[in-house]
Amino acid sequence: MTLTGTQAVGAALSRIEGREKVTGTARYAFEYAAGRDVAHAVPVQATIGRGEVVEVDTDPVLALPGVIAVIWYGNAPRLGPSDDGELALFQSNRVAYRGQIVAAVVAETIETAREAAGRVRIEYRQEPHDVVLRVDHPAMYRPPKVAPDYPTDTEVGDPDTALREAAVSVDLTYTTPAQHNNPMEPHATVAVWEDGGLTLYDSNQGSSAVRDVLSRLFELPPDRVRVIAPHVGGGFGSKLAPHPPVVLAAVAAKVTGRAVKVATTRQQMFAFVGYRTPIIQRVRLGAGRDGGLTAVIHDAFEQTSTVREFAEQTTTPTRVMYAAPNRRTTHRLTALDVPTPTFMRAPGECPGMFALESAMDELAIACGIDPIELRLRNEPAVHPETGVPFSSRGLVACLREGAERFGWADRDPTPGARRAGRRMVGTGVASSTYPVVRRPSQATARVEADGRFTVGVAAADIGTGARTALTQIAADALRVSPDEVRVEVGDSRLPTAPIAGGSMGTASWGTAVVRACEALREEIGRRGDVRPLEARADTADEIASQPRLSRHAFGAQFAEVAVDTDTGEVRVTRLLGVFAVGRVINPKTARSQFIGGMTMGLGMALMEESVMDVEFGDYLNHDFAQYHVAACADVPEIEVHWIEEEDPQINPMGSKGIGEIGIVGTAAAVANAVHHATGIRVRDLPIRIDRLVH
């Protein structure tokens, strides 16, 4: 075997597992445990918004044929301590929100379990509930941090005085509704207890993370918990950490001594696996007549639950975007009787940039300056708050290339000036950004007896093409062709790896893979033979010692819309995204990720909205019949490009995450285009017909 130079990274390699998926041989969580004595658990959800469970009448249900057990607070096993109250399943009789799991039925078949769950009778002690987010809520407070670990507030200079003295200023409020993560594969888990340990076949975004949480909850050594997730049908952040259904499967399996399957329905996905919090944002910008920003103030008001605090990092992108000597960002939170929000694609950046980039558009109009020119004039040389240098910053290049490709120079800035039949046509622009993050990861690389290579890392491929990208990275590091490399992922028994979230997966896992492959090459060179060898890498020290730099991906989003003058119907006719994301590992899968993000951003702008029923304390539209997402007919031809960007200081591959930046800025670009088309400024998403027709 000769290790020779190849160039796998940068090639448009098709997905390694593509054939398995299209032929149906790729197995997902619910399809495991074949041949085992399998039972099914179905949750019983609270029908009150706040209160206590007094009694569960189990006898009539247990008498039904095929019912194995009814589990609730009165008979459930005790769990270990957890800092996540949402996972303390059946550990208290308190009801924190409508839809919370308060009991479960385990039966021989899923049909029997569902029927029996509907017959469980529960006596409650009901209390008044509070589910309405408002800025003046008396319980609004300042959280100690915002996700994942950012400062809650930041301040530089004297922004209030600068705002008062600004020649031009805007003071604007924007709102985004609750939005629910709805991956193609709902959450599902198969739990098996055997030999004193727990095995979970689970749909998740990180088997190592799920293992660690479940081992603490069931007070087991980590090596006695195994989490297997080779194929995952999407997550959008909802599968980054375990939710109650995972715990339910493990508890039910422990109680019954059987392998137990739990599969959430689409309706249940709206209750206990997370969502994006509704957010109220106030943005105040002050500038000189030339458009130079003198003051930036961005305040966010959000909700969390009473069982676990989650504070979305909404104003953090404002800290990095534009130069201004005086600035402040804040987050405030109130705990309501609602499910716990969680990460949803581009948490913080997505809703935060809708507000900031809409406000920048409004400031540009107030200053009489082109929106792209306003952004260019406020481009910072270093991080605007910390003064830390950027590892690279491609925003200006993205705006300029995007403007040329989109034909921005021919744009008449006058709102409502362009018509196409009975439709008003408008165009809009917005910037995108997302942080570049690496977390410590481990990986192994070994030579097999046949001379091929196997690389192992407990990464999660949630449909993004992670297997394929890691194969390309490993092939180049080993100096062999991709067909000589097999990558193993999705199993907590593989070397520990961080989650597939925060657009950090490839950067984190890829660094470990490169280092393991480099170590293996050295060992092969030292020994001079190809007998089975294995090398391991751990990147914790490398990442801890990396230089202090501001690492971010950037992009520019352009949208064209056509608004019907009679009905107010909005159609997005063109979307263009140009991105600066370092070295692109695989153009084919990268393009897919960008298009997916931009499509989700289109849905955010025009459709997605979880509507709260204040009387009952629950989201009304908890299915795809009423919760609308973008479908094929809604999505135009989306054009995606990226600029050449060299950034060797971020990781060995020089790559930046791409899974989330595509959604950032899209909604603002669409909203800005709607204003340009109609002269109506919609500051409350989604842009519904009733907000355009009066």
Give 44-99 as a 3 state SS string. Answer: EECCCCCEEEEEEECHHHHCCCCEEEEEECCCCCCCCCCCCHHHCCCCCCEECCCC
- How many domains does the chain fold into? 3
Average pLDDT over residues 564-579: 97
Indicate if 424 and 468 belong to the same structural domain.
no
3-state secondary structure of 136: coil
With bands split at pLDDT 50, 70 and 90, how would you rate the model's confidence at 35?
A: confident
Q: Indicate whether 437 pLDDT > 80.
A: yes
Average pLDDT over residues 629-648: 94
With bands split at pLDDT 50, 70 and 90, how would you rate the model's confidence at 527?
A: confident
Element (H, E) at 677: helix 666-678
Q: CB of 127 within 8 A of CB of 257?
A: no
Q: Indicate whether 2 pLDDT > 60.
A: no
Indicate if 348 and 458 belong to the same structural domain.
no
Residue 1 has what pLDDT?
A: 45
- 595-616 exposure pattern, b = at least 16 Cβ within 10 A, e = fewer: bbbbbbbbbbbbbbbbebeeee
Q: CB of 641 within 8 A of CB of 361?
A: no
Indicate if 212 and 333 belong to the same structural domain.
no
- Kindly state the greatest CA–CA separation across the chain: 79
- The mean-pLDDT minimum among 603-607, 612-616, 629-633 falls in 629-633
Average pLDDT over residues 608-624: 96
Indicate if 506 and 416 belong to the same structural domain.
no
Average pLDDT over residues 413-419: 96
> 524: which residues sit within 8 A by CB, 6+ positions away?
3, 447, 530, 533
Indicate if 204 and 224 belong to the same structural domain.
yes
Q: What is the CA radius of gyration of the chain?
A: 26
Q: CB of 524 within 8 A of CB of 447?
A: yes
Average pLDDT over residues 235-255: 98
* Alpha-carbon span 411 to 555, nearest angstrom: 20
- Integer angstrom CA distances of residue 29 from 20, 34, 187, 622: 15, 11, 9, 23
Q: Indicate whether 452 pLDDT > 90.
A: yes
Residue at 226 is within a domain? yes
CA 437, 433, 166, 403 dihedral sign is positive
Domain boundary at 511, 544, 577, which? 544
CATH number at 490 reads 3.30.365.10
With bands split at pLDDT 50, 70 and 90, how would you rate the model's confidence at 188?
A: very high
Q: CB of 646 within 8 A of CB of 580?
A: no
Judged by phi (left if over 0) then psi (alpha if -120 to 50, else beta), residue 225 lies in beta
- 336-352 exposure pattern, b = at least 16 Cβ within 10 A, e = fewer: bbbbbbbbbbbbbbbbb
Q: Indicate whether 8 pLDDT > 50.
A: yes
Residue at 258 is within a domain? yes
Q: CB of 646 within 8 A of CB of 216?
A: no
CATH number at 87 reads 3.90.1170.50
Q: Indicate whether 120 pLDDT > 70.
A: yes
What is the end-to-end Cα distance of the chain in Å, rounded? 73
Residue 94 has what pLDDT?
A: 98
Q: CB of 355 within 8 A of CB of 171?
A: no
Q: Indicate whether 79 pLDDT > 50.
A: yes
Provide DSSP, 481-501.
Answer: -GGGEEEE-SBTTSSP---S-
Q: Indicate whether 159 pLDDT > 70.
A: yes
Average pLDDT over residues 10-19: 96
Q: Indicate whether 3 pLDDT > 70.
A: no
Residues facing 550 on adjacent strands: 390
Q: Indicate whether 694 pLDDT > 80.
A: no
pTM here is 0.97
- Integer angstrom CA distances of residue 205 from 61, 262, 661: 35, 17, 18
Indicate if 410 and 447 belong to the same structural domain.
no
Short-list 322, 340, 266, 327, CA closest to 96: 340
Residue at 136 is within a domain? no
Residues facing 560 on adjacent strands: 427, 574
Residue 84 has what pLDDT?
A: 92
Average pLDDT over residues 404-422: 96
Residue 688 has what pLDDT?
A: 96
With bands split at pLDDT 50, 70 and 90, how would you rate the model's confidence at 4?
A: low
Element (H, E) at 520: helix 505-527
Q: Packing angle between helix 244-256 and helix 207-217, nearest 10 degrees?
A: 50
Domain boundary at 521, 544, 567, which? 544
Q: Indicate whether 535 pLDDT > 80.
A: yes
Q: Convert the pLDDT of each residue in 296-341 to its tens digit.
A: 999 999 999 999 999 999 999 999 999 999 999 999 999 999 999 9
Q: Indicate whether 6 pLDDT > 80.
A: no
Indicate if 123 and 108 belong to the same structural domain.
yes
* Alpha-carbon span 379 to 480, nearest angstrom: 42
Indicate if 591 and 474 belong to the same structural domain.
no
Indicate if 510 and 539 belong to the same structural domain.
yes
Q: How many Cα atoms are found within 13 Å in the side-chain-facing hemisphere of 334?
A: 19
Residue at 141 is within a domain? no
The whole-chain average pLDDT of the chain stands at 96
Residue at 175 is within a domain? yes
Percent composition of the chain: helix, strand, coil (DSSP 3-state, to 5): 25, 25, 45
Domain boundary at 251, 272, 293, which? 272
Q: Indicate whether 649 pLDDT > 90.
A: yes
Length of the chain: 694
Element (H, E) at 350: helix 349-367
Exposed (0-12), middle (13-18) or buried (19+): which is 526, by Cβ within 10 Å?
exposed
Residue at 456 is within a domain? yes
> In which residue are the tokens 């790896």 written?
497
* Alpha-carbon span 440 to 539, nearest angstrom: 5
SS (H, E, C) 375-434: HHHCCCCCCCCCCCCEEECCHHHHHHHHHHHHCHHHCCCCCCCCEECCEEEEEEEEEEEE
Average pLDDT over residues 521-550: 92
For residue 148, say if its preceding peptide bond is cis, omega within 30 degrees of 0: yes
* Alpha-carbon span 568 to 649, nearest angstrom: 48
Element (H, E) at 507: helix 505-527
Please list the active-site residues: 660
Residue at 455 is within a domain? yes
Average pLDDT over residues 666-683: 98
Exposed (0-12), middle (13-18) or buried (19+): which is 655, by Cβ within 10 Å?
buried
Residue at 53 is within a domain? yes
Indicate if 557 and 653 belong to the same structural domain.
yes
Question: Which residue stretches of 226-311 are H helix?
Answer: 244-256, 269-272
Q: CB of 455 within 8 A of CB of 473?
A: no
Residue 279 has what pLDDT?
A: 98
Element (H, E) at 45: strand 38-45
* Alpha-carbon span 356 to 189, nearest angstrom: 39
Q: CB of 275 within 8 A of CB of 306?
A: no
> What residues make up the domain containing 373?
154-179+275-436+548-691
Indicate if 557 and 580 belong to the same structural domain.
yes
Residues facing 296 on adjacent strands: 285, 327
Q: CB of 432 within 8 A of CB of 661?
A: yes
Q: How many Cα atoms are found within 13 Å in the side-chain-facing hemisphere of 407?
A: 9
CA 475, 481, 484, 489 dihedral sign is positive
Indicate if 532 and 614 belong to the same structural domain.
no
